[in-house]
Structure 1
Amino acid sequence: MPSPLTHDDPAALGPYRLIARLGSGGMGTVYLGRSPGGRTLALKTMHARIATQTEFRTRFRLESDAARVIGGRHGAQVVDADPLAETPWMATEYVIGPPLDEAVALAGPLPETTVRALGAALCGALGQLHRSDVVHRDLKPSNIMVTAYGPKVIDFGIARALGDDRLTHTGAAVGTPAFMSPEQATGQEHTPAGDVFALAGVLVFAATGRGPFGDGRPADLLYRVRYAEPDLTGVPAALAGVLARCLAKDPADRPDTEWLATQLQDGTGDFADRLPDPVLAEIGRRANEVWQVVPQRLPAPPDQPATVPSAEVPAPSGPSRRGLLMAGAGSVLGVAGAGAGVWAWLSGGGPAPGPTGPYEKPKPGPSVSALKKKKLDSLWQIQTGGTEDEESPAAPFMPGDAAVLLAPTQLYRIDPASGAVTWTADIDGTWQVASDGRNVYQNVRVAHYEHGSAFPSTVSRYLSRVDLTTGKAGKHLAEVTDPQFGGIDSQLLAVAGGTAYLAISLGKVKEYLRQNPWAVTAVDLATGSRRWTERLAFRSQKSDRNHFLAATVVGDRLLLLQERNDGTVRIVVRDTRTGKVDWDRPWDGIEPAAARQPLTADGGHLYLGSGRLRALRLSDGRQTWAAPAGTVHGVPLLKDGVVYAVQQGRGLVGTDARSGKPRWAEKGGDGARASLTSRPVIGSRCAYTYHADEGALRAIDRATRTTARLYKANGDRFTAQERGKVILASGKHFLAAFPLQ
């Protein structure tokens, strides 16, 4: 349960505001925090008194690396970290659910079907670690969080790479006695077989409410672990033999996680359906509780002044309906970090919201509770996990006849006709995915461990093509980072003509700050080679924003919107063959947030709205034409040689792309209050604009130029899926579809 901050707790870690304490131990403190955009996170930091010791800093860095290896499907996704800070810290998703020991205390020994589902999922978690040559070494009930989509393994404070003994004194037993393996109890090498031993002990606890070697003083427990037979009284008969094999004293006699998973699995079904009602109710309580936390700070003792002011913010309102909360954070893939936070809904016995299909319950997105569906005139509507981040959601990709929605930490493939989610896949941030119109590409982060190393020797990113059938990232097409530079951060800008364009960091510096040198590079996807690399201007260490707000490729030019240190936006056009800048000019009067829109261009011009509508020549950046002075237009769209945009106070207008002369304008005055920030959609018979104040998508007959129909709608981005003849409206929490005519 969250508790108030103490008088000397920091107000923030990095960009994250602290609002409560979640717990404190010998190594450090865990806080509840919020991102600048309102995202709920757990932030872990080391105690200042040990932060100066190399051994503990190494452990903290290893913990962060191990958490990244296990990913968001099986663990708490790492969102941000600074292991090199004066006081190291790490930000992860806030996992909503009780630890396993509390779940058993609430519900009593768990049913066999629950234990099997729990064990099979934990086999997947440990398998993910072991395939990366990492062992946990401290698996126990309190380190396993129970969510409605499955367990999550946390606390990797003593995890390490296989073969590394630099952080363990010879003969020293490190771990929790009740769940240690015999070899670990004597200070010997802890291999994956040791994690299997601990897992079996955890499952005995889940099934009986006690560990296989009882309790008592640590010395007594260690003795029984080494020499006594496990007590399996109360373990279901069908599980006892399997777990007994895993609890063998000799590591060579224990099976691996893959074999164990096959013995535990008992069919398919949702994990939440296997959980007892008290556990579901506790998940629901925690999901509601996290949004009720009001920042509080305890006063300083009388002889000490208060050093950090309390932050006063109103508590957001929680769900109003009662019932069991089904919540979770998982993913179809375990290749990168999963969506941080929780996908939740209140269940009164009826079906969960979302589309029907292979995944009836869409996998989680960022930290938001379920929202009541709005009454829309849509063909279908689904909650995609939502986002509380400051940035608006990206418009969906439209490769072939599918729609691929890009959320902050996940991709969704959606059938435009039905709204069925056919797969979800984890991604490492929205700027690590791009599409060339036919395929979707992902920039995958991979940690490389050398034998005996406690932490990655290098961290690389590889470009992969996403399989549109399964959502899985394919083979590595090209390495984005390399030993020459050692940079570990990047931004995938665009993909076109078999070439990927990226911004990459240069130099071995702090991973999550951008004060290091950056460059733009072009990578050949066929050969994996760099075609060119051009350095960028220095990026202020006071900003953690990306260099680029938008990017696209037109012919042999790479069009970029670049945010500078002073917050201004510049239009930069580079030659795709050499990387050299063709021209660079300011976009005066626009805020960076408003510039984060798809660029509108053809072979000859770049068309700018969000102010005065104008056309800039791609060859030299000079203005070819502009709308009359004093007019204000929204985000433009190019269709059949006409640039369409909403004109403030008038409505949708069409302008000849070559001459700038008026070609089309709606009639009747209905469009005077149309949104300037939502891009219009142009169909064969109708044009569509959004009226945010009315919550309506207005269809305008292109022949009569008058309103044909109003659809009750909401969203930030409206995108045509022409093959499916639908308009996809994507908002911060929902995706909906409307007819495209």
Structure 2
Amino acid sequence: MLSPLVHDDPQTLGHYRLIARLGSGGMGTVYLGRSQRGRTVALKTLHPEFAAQREFRTRFQLEVDAARVIGGHHGAEVVDADALAETPWMATEYVLGLPLDDLVTVCGPLPGAATRAAGARLCGALAQLHGSHVVHRDLKPSNILITAQGPKIIDFGIARAAGDDRLTRTGAAAGTPAFMSPEQATGQEHTPAGDIFALAGVLVFASSGHGPFGTGQTADLLYRVRYSQPDLSQVPDELVGALERCLAKEPQERPTVQELGRHLGGIAGKFEDFLPDPVLAEILRRCGVAWEVPPPRLPAPPLGDSAPAPPEAARSVGRLHLTRRRALILGGGATLAAAAATGGAWALFRPDGASAAKQAPSPSSGKGAATAPKPNWQRRFGGESLQPAMTGDYVAVVRDGRLTTVDMEGEDAGTNRNVQDEPLVTDRGHFYGVSDELILHRVNAKTAAFGESVADLNDLELRDLNVHGPILIGAYKGTVVVQGMPKRGPDDTLKRHLVALDTETGKIRWRDKTEMGAKVAAAVRGTLILVDDIGRIWAIDMAKGKVTWSRKFDLLMDAGSSVGVDPDGHIYLGLDEIFALRVSDGKTIWRFGKGRSLQAPPGQKSKPYYGTPLYKKGIVYFLEPGTGVVALDARTGKLRWEAEAGWAVEVPPGAVPAAGDQYLYFPSRGSRLVTAFDLKTRAVKWVYIDPDKVLGPPTLMPHHGSHQLVVATDRRVLALPLK
């Protein structure tokens, strides 16, 4: 989507006049440009700080070379490039299509036949690359554009010749964890078999709406990639066998790209014939963006101020008014009419940035549900996924190596490009983050700038599966906890080190070891509660750094998300039962749910769990799939009341609810983004419907000072009234 040029963007690159921004990431910016003869192109550039480094210029030249190898049939044709210019740039054709991740978000997963057709053509693209001894190394949904003629592979930023590891360095991007191969996750050579593994992950995503190893933080994803079996429960049966082979942990057990192509092929017809009508309509809608009136260039900020945020109207694409003439230019009136007749008209005429709140309640929202309120403000971000955090009056969003802070009016406060692509942690009104040089900093919430350094994490001699340095997992009362694996020792060790650092002195307060990746689930009364992915929960005395107790449950937990806490020294677990534990010794004080029937969502084969418990004024609230909203006495665990809610089965167990004075707010995935439940009437008050159909549940962050519920999805942040 188009964004306005900023004051210091160049006027031209080579022979091309810049029209607008198409996107910007941690490494560079992509512009929409036009030649003097009117040819429209996409221009990719490097940020100045990277252009000044020879290594990154070399990488950029390799990307240009790889893009030329794949050509215009399987990729975006390279029109021109200059890797030696002051601002290195590459001009490619402007592809009339949309990224696969956007397609699935807007239109839902592809049917089996469409997935096979896309997979067969992507095998042809990889065969062309591998035949020239080039491996992509970062194949993922956002790097695949879906057009009516077929898929195209883009973004060869870390592609290189097979066996060439000369350009690896500490902190450099090495791929995307959710779609990495096991060998890439451990720093080994990424061969063509690694691209096969990633392609299988892409096809799982295309056909099911989620990756084969779920979502989460980098450490969790990399562990699952190495040791867990892929989730193929929602993949069409005819694809399961082939994708299982492609996702084998050992490279030699995977099929070649030619073998996979033969398995997926054998379906005749044009690619567009396999695409559902809403997909074709969305492609057509996006084709018109390049011919819209471009947004005006933003002026320079006043002296001493940070760059102003784009006006709301300029942050997204202008309204798409398709005249009859423009419709003919984009593909003919018959195509436009067909899209409207098949129900795709909403995608053609819905303006970008329009309110996502449905003006009528969802059929499943509950009787008497009112119209959802419109957001007070909303911000859409580019990149793969958002990593949100809140402290004071600011929300911090990390995506693609860039940190942006937003105030409670939805305006940009500041930007920082030198951060690790991991969530920030908060403590005592401060953000803490890690720079690309692995320095732990206190972050200025208003400007997003790094303040004083707290500690050099390189001194801890920790790594994380050979890909990143140690990551932040929590903070509490002047202590930041980081996690990583020892740099020395067997590569197959599962031991992780937890290191607590004093935020004033940077000194190590204590160390602990855990078998699996851990997360901070709660902090109360001087005790840190940690949970890992295999059902272990334990407590650490923050002052002494000693484990005071630990327990193991026979169920996998969504670490840090299935735990509720109260200020009186109790935690509540949402598993196959609700458990209340004492923080002081870990003893169970009550449990609820034995003998009650839990209902699994349609199509889910795994055992259903209770929702994440929420404590509020002496009562513990949670969702029981199959029943609805349940309220228990926090002291005794006795049932206070329960309210029927069929939609409760749609809410994933790890979705963390929030509370206002009058309403409970339950996040979900898909179109039902937030459900407001009125505690007085014990009924749904309203449902906020999101047309983006997010893949995972949003993060809910109540801001009581402004009476707003800040909602962060994988693509945007918005604020709803909090009551």
**Aligned pairs (5 A) from 1:629-648:** 629-631=594-596, 632=598, 633-648=610-625
Question: Once the 2 structures are TM-superposed, how far is the Cα of residue 490 of structure 1 from its aligned partner?
Answer: 0.8
TM-score, normalising length from structure 1? 0.50
The aligned amino acid for 1:577 is A
Per the alignment, do residues 350 and 686 of structure 1 end up closer, same or farther by CA in structure 2, a change over 3 Å counting? farther
Q: Deviations over 1:347-372 (max 9, x none)?
A: 622659x9x95245779xxxxxx988
Q: Which runs of 5+ in 1 are unaligned?
A: 6-16, 73-79, 95-294, 298-304, 326-344, 364-369, 447-460, 540-546
Question: Once the 2 structures are TM-superposed, how far is the Cα of residue 619 of structure 1 from its aligned partner?
Answer: 2.3
The aligned amino acid for 2:708 is V
Count of matched residue positions in the alignment of Structure 1 and Structure 2: 440
SS at match of 1:572: strand
CA contact (8 A) 1:324 1:348 kept: no
Corresponding position: 1:422 with 2:413:
yes
Per the alignment, do residues 90 and 553 of structure 1 end up closer, same or farther by CA in structure 2, a change over 3 Å counting? farther
Corresponding position: 1:411 with 2:374:
no
The aligned amino acid for 1:375 is A
CA contact (8 A) 1:532 1:579 kept: yes
Match of 1:570 among 526, 536, 540: 536
SS at match of 1:704: coil
Residue equivalent to 1:384: 381
Corresponding position: 1:733 with 2:719:
no
Separation (CA, whole Å) in 1 of partners of 2:661 and 2:452: 40
CA contact (8 A) 2:142 2:384 kept: no
Residue equivalent to 2:292: 348
Residue equivalent to 1:651: 628
Q: Deviations over 1:472-502 (max 9, x none)?
A: 1222111223176788721211111111111
Corresponding position: 1:533 with 2:511:
yes
SS at match of 2:626: coil
Corresponding position: 1:606 with 2:586:
no
Residue equivalent to 2:283: 320
The aligned amino acid for 2:485 is S
Corresponding position: 1:85 with 2:189:
yes
The structure number with the bigger radius of gyration is 1
Residue equivalent to 1:114: none
Q: Deviations over 1:6-62 (max 9, x none)?
A: xxxxxxxxxxx98845997999625274249988763756656xx5xxxx75x434x
Question: Once the 2 structures are TM-superposed, how far is the Cα of residue 609 of structure 1 from its aligned partner?
Answer: 1.2
Corresponding position: 1:553 with 2:660:
no
SS at match of 2:389: coil
**Aligned pairs (5 A) from 1:99-248:** none
Per the alignment, do residues 362 and 641 of structure 1 end up closer, same or farther by CA in structure 2, a change over 3 Å counting? farther
Q: Deviations over 1:214-272 (max 9, x none)?
A: xxxxxxxxxxxxxxxxxxxxxxxxxxxxxxxxxxxxxxxxxxxxxxxxxxxxxxxxxxx
Match of 2:436 among 445, 452, 475: 445
Separation (CA, whole Å) in 1 of partners of 2:480 and 2:499: 8
**Aligned pairs (5 A) from 1:52-71:** 59-61=166-168, 64=169
Q: Deviations over 1:560-601 (max 9, x none)?
A: 1113xxxx23112222233332222223333x5x44527422
Match of 2:678 among 673, 680, 701: 701
The aligned amino acid for 1:524 is D
Bigger mean CA offset, 481-490 vs 471-480? 481-490
SS at match of 2:392: coil
Identity %, equivalent residues: 23
Per the alignment, do residues 724 and 640 of structure 1 end up closer, same or farther by CA in structure 2, a change over 3 Å counting? same
Residue equivalent to 1:721: 703
Question: Once the 2 structures are TM-superposed, how far is the Cα of residue 437 of structure 1 from its aligned partner?
Answer: 5.3
The aligned amino acid for 1:495 is A
The aligned amino acid for 1:728 is V
Question: Once the 2 structures are TM-superposed, how far is the Cα of residue 383 of structure 1 from its aligned partner?
Answer: 2.1
Per the alignment, do residues 730 and 611 of structure 1 end up closer, same or farther by CA in structure 2, a change over 3 Å counting? farther
Question: Once the 2 structures are TM-superposed, how far is the Cα of residue 728 of structure 1 from its aligned partner?
Answer: 2.3
> RMSD between aligned alpha carbons?
4.8
Match of 1:502 among 482, 489, 496: 482
SS at match of 1:309: helix
Separation (CA, whole Å) in 2 of partners of 1:404 and 1:470: 10
Corresponding position: 1:587 with 2:553:
yes
Per the alignment, do residues 307 and 18 of structure 1 end up closer, same or farther by CA in structure 2, a change over 3 Å counting? closer
The aligned amino acid for 1:519 is H
CA contact (8 A) 1:651 1:674 kept: no
Question: Once the 2 structures are TM-superposed, how far is the Cα of residue 465 of structure 1 from its aligned partner?
Answer: 0.9
Residue equivalent to 2:259: 309
Residue equivalent to 2:366: none
Q: Deviations over 1:485-528 (max 9, x none)?
A: 78872121111111111113222579xx7747531111111111
SS at match of 1:482: helix
CA contact (8 A) 2:536 2:552 kept: yes
TM-score, normalising length from structure 2? 0.51
SS at match of 1:481: helix
Per the alignment, do residues 37 and 586 of structure 1 end up closer, same or farther by CA in structure 2, a change over 3 Å counting? farther
Separation (CA, whole Å) in 2 of partners of 1:572 and 1:434: 20
Residue equivalent to 1:190: none
Q: Deviations over 1:510-569 (max 9, x none)?
A: 9xx7747531111111111111223334x6xxxxxxx12444322322211113xxxx23
Match of 2:497 among 515, 519, 543: 519
Q: Deviations over 1:329-357 (max 9, x none)?
A: xxxxxxxxxxxxxxxx76622659x9x95
Separation (CA, whole Å) in 1 of partners of 2:675 and 2:257: 54
Question: Once the 2 structures are TM-superposed, how far is the Cα of residue 466 of structure 1 from its aligned partner?
Answer: 1.0
The aligned amino acid for 2:479 is T
Per the alignment, do residues 423 and 517 of structure 1 end up closer, same or farther by CA in structure 2, a change over 3 Å counting? same
